[in-house]
């Protein structure tokens, strides 16, 4: 599938939604700005939701939605669980679990893929389970074994989702996962640093001079200084040592190893020599 149906304005709107989500508070699940932006990007007269299901335990772990008009609901464990609940009786037989049954989490699916007509949808168990949902667009996200995470777009009176809207959802998918991971890190207290800022901080923490860091990373000394200024500002500290102590325990593993490497030996204090 190509993006031939997309316009420059679509891409610009998509970037704005992602930028707003990254700047928003992490919250308890997805940043609210993300769901609000998705609702503007792909309008739905029911809602746009983030859902997290434990399909082994037959539990809904989290339902967070923004409805038409901006109404917020959740995030919280949603009522309805156990083998007798209609949702879980239908789960392994319908479109809800298609990504888990096939192992294909990349394809964005919609109701029309499974029920080409409204009559076919109404004749299925889905028509009884979710009578208000005439069209759904599902974007699957990575999840631990036995679980399912996704973004769902739901419509009732509006038209079916177009291929252009599916393409927008496909472009969004990897960024949705990145935003969720970023939110998880912020909830855990992990500093929000760029990849380059992590690299500069890890090298500076070893005592490496800025000029050597610049040579190592093929950037200017001024750029190294600017990165460290940003790191100190974001962490609210005034020294490299304080920044390292606060941030490096949360750094990517390969950078933690680099930062704990032996630093250059300190010069001997005045009046001291290496011998007796």
Over the chain, what is the mean pLDDT? Answer: 87
Instruction: Tell me if residue 150 falls in helix, strand or coil.
Output: strand
* 185 pLDDT more than 70: yes
Give the pTM. 0.72
- pLDDT number for residue 54: 94
Query: What would the pLDDT profile of 47-88 be if each residue is shown by its tens digit?
Result: 999 999 999 999 999 999 999 888 999 897 766 678 888 889
> Which of helix, strand or coil describes residue 135?
strand
Q: What is the DSSP annotation of 151-220?
A: EEEEESSSPPPPHHHHHHHHHHHHHHHHHHHHHHHHHTT-----HHHHHHHHHHTTT--HHHHHHHHT--
Q: Which pLDDT band holds residue 146 (cuts at 50, 70, 90)?
A: very high
Residue 256 reports pLDDT greater than 80:
no
Fold for the domain defined by 195-259: Arc Repressor Mutant, subunit A (1.10.10)
Residue labelled with tokens 């001024």: 222
pLDDT of the residue at 80: 63
Q: Which CATH architecture has domain 8-187?
A: 2-Layer Sandwich (3.30)
Q: What is the pLDDT of residues 156-182, one digit of tens each?
A: 987 899 999 999 999 999 999 999 988
The predicted structure's pLDDT at residue 16: 94
Question: Can you tell me which residue has the tokens 């050597």?
Answer: 212
pLDDT tier at 259, thresholds 50, 70, 90: low
Q: Residue written as tokens 């599902």?
A: 138
Instruction: Write down the domain spans for the chain.
Output: 8-187, 195-259
| pLDDT average, residue stretch 33-60 | 95
Percentage of the chain beyond pLDDT 70 is 89
């Amino acid at each position: 599938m190509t993006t031939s149906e997309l316009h420059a304005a679509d891409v610009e709107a998509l970037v704005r939604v992602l930028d707003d989500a990254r700047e928003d508070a992490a919250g308890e699940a997805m940043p609210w700005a993300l769901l609000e932006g998705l609702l503007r990007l792909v309008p739905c007269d029911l809602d746009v939701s983030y859902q997290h299901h434990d399909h082994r335990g037959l539990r809904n772990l989290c339902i967070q939605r923004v409805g038409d008009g901006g109404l917020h609901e959740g995030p919280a464990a949603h009522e309805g669980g156990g083998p007798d609940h209609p949702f879980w009786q239908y789960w392994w037989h319908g479109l809800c679990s298609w990504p888990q049954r096939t192992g294909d989490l990349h394809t964005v699916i919609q109701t029309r893929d499974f029920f080409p007509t409204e009559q076919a949808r109404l004749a299925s168990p889905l028509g009884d389970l979710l009578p208000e949902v005439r069209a759904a667009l599902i974007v699957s996200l990575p999840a631990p074994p036995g679980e399912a995470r996704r973004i769902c777009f739901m419509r009732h009176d509006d038209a079916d989702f177009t291929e252009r809207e599916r393409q927008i959802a496909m472009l969004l998918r990897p960024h949705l996962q990145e935003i969720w991971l970023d939110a998880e890190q912020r909830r855990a207290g992990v500093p929000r640093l760029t990849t380059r800022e992590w690299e500069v901080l890890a090298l500076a923490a070893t005592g490496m001079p800025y000029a050597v860091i610049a040579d190592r990373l093929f950037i200017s000394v001024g750029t190294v200084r600017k990165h460290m200024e940003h790191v100190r500002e974001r962490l609210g500290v005034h020294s490299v040592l304080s920044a390292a102590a606060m941030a490096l325990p949360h750094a990517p593993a390969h950078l933690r190893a680099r930062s704990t490497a032996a630093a250059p030996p300190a010069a001997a204090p005045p009046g001291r020599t290496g011998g007796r």
